[in-house]
Structure 1
């Protein structure tokens, strides 16, 4: 894969440099300084939280563990990497950078974060992208909004290099999901399933793009369930696992739901949601409004609820009355890339602005029209969440809900199926389904 990445990376960096030249020109900046960042300290402790590099830093190069380092770029000049290689006998000292990308940078090795700051260019107007916490002594992060808006907008359009990394992240994630399913079938606990996932991904928790969700039975109804029970339940009725993987800082985000042995009715419901999800993924095409796709998903899922006997009303009434929102309370998905919830999902243009969510859909994470180069998740769900169902009972439409049927499915928690899908000039590319197909 490395040999294939070299020419892709060179073209990617040329694109990033061009976008940066245009962004800096908007407000007359002379250069861009990007801080990799530093680990956050735990309160009243001498230990740090796991380090996560600034996504702007990772967008330029595939270094995910370079705390204290900086990228310096001035239009027309070769970018510089100030790489911190500390004198340290407490930790493993990072090796000097190597690989397919290093010839694209002037690399200066320094021994501390303070040395890196001292080596930053002085004078002129610098756009400094970095976190305000922890603060950077000697360099104040100004994060100019016009520059960020421009860079975030154009980061929505993935280069061939970025897509190659995301395909690999999907392959790693698919392999690990298969291992998790085997652990579920083998009767393991949530913790045991999670360990099987990590072993197959060959990544530790801190390397994953987000905290894995592994919910057995009723726990599938908790949208962000991360408790990891150590003891297996008496019955394995269902598993909902939402877990991704990383490749050079790029993410995959995959969710699958499985029915236990003999759970034919729940499996039939999974199959219906899966068929609906495939249909939504096929609509990830240029010109498609993402919020309209989200609302379309509500109508299709209303038909699924009616087909399986949960409601006795047509799709239009189920959506208008809020019934579908009780079973599908989150958004259809979000942009994904160097961040699992990538930027600019609501942005109106490269100059900023906000496209509001449609009324009644407060958790939708994207409101833009799809264009070639964008990658989004498609993750419909149907859940049996006690709090929302109790609220639904007070809705006049509750008379058209088969509550006995709903109660029978509460022990399964819920269903979510999620793929990462790239919008192209033609048919969409489903990174997740392709990755699973390659395992067959």
Structure 2
């Protein structure tokens, strides 16, 4: 894979340098200084949380474990990496940089934070320092200028060929692990055991995954962010919802699948309908498509699914207008994805900043922009049977148009969510997730 990445990385870095040149000019700065960051200390403890490098740092380099390191970019000059390799016998010291990207950087190895700061442009110069708000490195406090961030975030929405190749790899790893998780579900394992099977197949520990996995059996699928992991398998596993991703050089995949146990045909039929709808939504990830309008369209389609399966007795227009669909589909259709699972600039108006409001009645939508080539978004419709929301619906006039016996029959299955990562291109969308599952 590294042979494929080398030429792509060269092009990627040239793109980043061009964006940095423009961002610095807009903000009135001479240098872009990016902190990898340092681990966060647990409160009243001498241990740290797992380290997660600043996404701006990972945008420039495939280094995910370089705490205390810095990137310095000055227009017209070769980028510089100040790499912290401390003298330490308590922890594994990061290995010296190597690989397809090192020739593009002037690399200085230092042994402590003070020496690292000494390698940065002087404090008397005009520095745009991007990093955590309170870095533990005196003399290099981040200022995170908004003009610079807005410009860089806007252009991070459009993935380079290098980034897409890493996201394909993250999807392949995730798909492999999802197959192992489904196998464990079919074998009757507990949520905890399924999660362990996922980690083993991904060959990544929890801290390396892009987000905390959701592994939900039966009614637990109705908890949108269920991360409990029962250690004991239920007496009967009726359904399984797993929302779990993987990482590749700092880039994320975000994949959700829902399964019915053998013999649970009614729930399987509902899964099949949501899957067909999801494939159609993913096929609409095309240039010029308003993401909020696609989200609203999804509500109308899911209303039709609910009606066809006998859950509601009203037409789609009324189900959406009265908020009934939001009871069964209470989250957004998806979000941008890349270096972060919920990537930046999903609401941004243009490269100078600004914000595009969510449509009324849809407070949890995570993207309001119009799709353009190079964007990568998730498409994740769902249908759930959530007691709190169902109880609120029972008190409304629309309750008369709900088949509550059907709802009660489906409640033990929790819910359905199906999620793919999709690239908007000039032509047919590239479905990273479906392509990864198709590879054996």
- The verdict on a shared fold, with TM-score over 0.5 as the criterion, is yes
Q: Distance in 1 between matches of 2:94 and 2:50?
A: 16
- Which position in structure 2 is the counterpart of 1:272? 273
Task: Please give the per-residue CA displacement for 1:228-259, whole angstroms capped at 9, x wherever unaligned.
Answer: 00000000100000000000000000000000
User: Is the partner of 2:13 in helix, strand or coil?
Assistant: helix
Q: Distance in 1 between matches of 2:354 and 2:394?
A: 39
1:113 Cα deviation from its structure 2 partner: 2.0
- Which position in structure 1 is the counterpart of 2:311? 310
Q: Distance in 1 between matches of 2:355 and 2:136?
A: 29
Work out whether residues 251 and 338 of structure 2, in 8 Å CA contact, stay in contact via their aligned partners in 1.
yes
Task: Please give the per-residue CA displacement for 1:30-85, whole angstroms capped at 9, x wherever unaligned.
Answer: 00000000000011110000000000000000000000000000000000000000
- Which position in structure 2 is the counterpart of 1:239? 240
The answer as to 2:158 corresponding to 1:160 is no
Q: Distance in 2 between matches of 1:358 and 1:395?
A: 23
- Which position in structure 1 is the counterpart of 2:331? 330
After superposition, where does 1:4-403 map in structure 2 within 5 Å?
A: 4-122=4-122, 123-403=124-404
Cα gap change, 1:135/1:356 in structure 2, threshold over 3 Å: closer, same or farther? farther
Where structure 1 has 5 or more consecutive residues not aligned to the other structure, the ranges are: none
1:136 Cα deviation from its structure 2 partner: 3.4
1:112 Cα deviation from its structure 2 partner: 1.4
Where structure 2 has 5 or more consecutive residues not aligned to the other structure, the ranges are: none
User: Is the partner of 1:161 in helix, strand or coil?
Assistant: helix
Task: Please give the per-residue CA displacement for 1:90-149, whole angstroms capped at 9, x wherever unaligned.
Answer: 111111000000000000000012211122110320000011144432212110000000
Q: Distance in 2 between matches of 1:196 and 1:214?
A: 11
Work out whether residues 31 and 74 of structure 2, in 8 Å CA contact, stay in contact via their aligned partners in 1.
yes
Q: Distance in 2 between matches of 1:96 and 1:128?
A: 24
The answer as to 2:429 corresponding to 1:428 is yes
Moved more, 351-360 or 394-403: 394-403
Work out whether residues 218 and 240 of structure 2, in 8 Å CA contact, stay in contact via their aligned partners in 1.
yes
Normalising by the residue count of structure 2, what TM-score does the alignment of the two structures yield? 0.99
Work out whether residues 181 and 198 of structure 2, in 8 Å CA contact, stay in contact via their aligned partners in 1.
yes
1:10 Cα deviation from its structure 2 partner: 0.3
Moved more, 90-99 or 190-199: 90-99
User: Is the partner of 1:209 in helix, strand or coil?
Assistant: coil
Q: Distance in 1 between matches of 2:118 and 2:22?
A: 27
Q: Distance in 2 between matches of 1:63 and 1:113?
A: 18
Cα gap change, 1:272/1:194 in structure 2, threshold over 3 Å: closer, same or farther? same
Work out whether residues 38 and 136 of structure 2, in 8 Å CA contact, stay in contact via their aligned partners in 1.
no
1:158 Cα deviation from its structure 2 partner: 0.2
Q: Distance in 2 between matches of 1:92 and 1:416?
A: 39
Normalising by the residue count of structure 1, what TM-score does the alignment of the two structures yield? 0.99
User: Is the partner of 2:226 in helix, strand or coil?
Assistant: coil
Q: Distance in 1 between matches of 2:337 and 2:147?
A: 22
Q: Structure 1 segments of 4 or more deviating over 3 A?
A: 133-136
The count of residues paired between Structure 1 and Structure 2 equals 439
User: Is the partner of 1:10 in helix, strand or coil?
Assistant: helix
Q: Distance in 2 between matches of 1:116 and 1:237?
A: 55
Work out whether residues 58 and 250 of structure 2, in 8 Å CA contact, stay in contact via their aligned partners in 1.
yes
User: Is the partner of 1:33 in helix, strand or coil?
Assistant: strand
Work out whether residues 40 and 134 of structure 1, in 8 Å CA contact, stay in contact via their aligned partners in 2.
no
User: Is the partner of 2:439 in helix, strand or coil?
Assistant: helix
1:395 Cα deviation from its structure 2 partner: 1.7
Task: Please give the per-residue CA displacement for 1:338-380, whole angstroms capped at 9, x wherever unaligned.
Answer: 1110000000000000000000000000000000000000000
User: Is the partner of 2:57 in helix, strand or coil?
Assistant: helix
